[in-house]
Amino acid sequence: MTNPRKTAIITGASSGFGATFAETLAKDGWNLILTGRRTDNLTKQKQRIAMHYQVSVQTFTADLSNNDDLVGFLSVIDKYTNIELLINNAGFGLIGNYFKNDFSDA
């Protein structure tokens, strides 16, 4: 089903699951707002989607653990009235026993 009026936000869209979600939703006609810290990856992702799908893609570079970046991102998405989906995927994983992992670099 294609509905170009719907907009989705994907955090952590610069790689991995987030990039795959972006491609999948673009294929289904969703306009996208993509965020992550790596501007180059986001730009490549936007270009790749633009080559294949007729949807609008906005990218916004932000470290969501940084309050200023977060406020900047919120001010961008605040202008939209048609956001219907949030894929809040940004994050990282560590392997091992949760209670023994070192989160100091995270």
Ligand X SMILES: NC(=O)c1ccc[n+]([C@@H]2O[C@H](COP(=O)([O-])OP(=O)(O)OC[C@H]3O[C@@H](n4cnc5c(N)ncnc54)[C@H](OP(=O)(O)O)[C@@H]3O)[C@@H](O)[C@H]2O)c1
CA distance 28 to 1: 6
Tokens of 88: 């809040």
Instruction: List binders of ligand X among 11-30 (CB under 6 A).
Output: 11-18
**Beta-carbon count within 10 A of 42 CB:** 25
Length of the chain: 106
Asked if 43 touches ligand X (CB under 6 A), the answer is no
- Which residue, 17 or 54, is less far from ligand X as judged by CB? 17
Cα Rg, the chain, nearest whole Å: 15
Shortest spacing between CB 2 and ligand X, in angstroms: 26
Pick the stretch among 23-31, 43-51, 77-85, 87-95 that binds ligand X (CB under 6 A). 87-95
Binding site for ligand X (CB under 6 A): 11-18, 36-38, 41, 62-65, 89-93
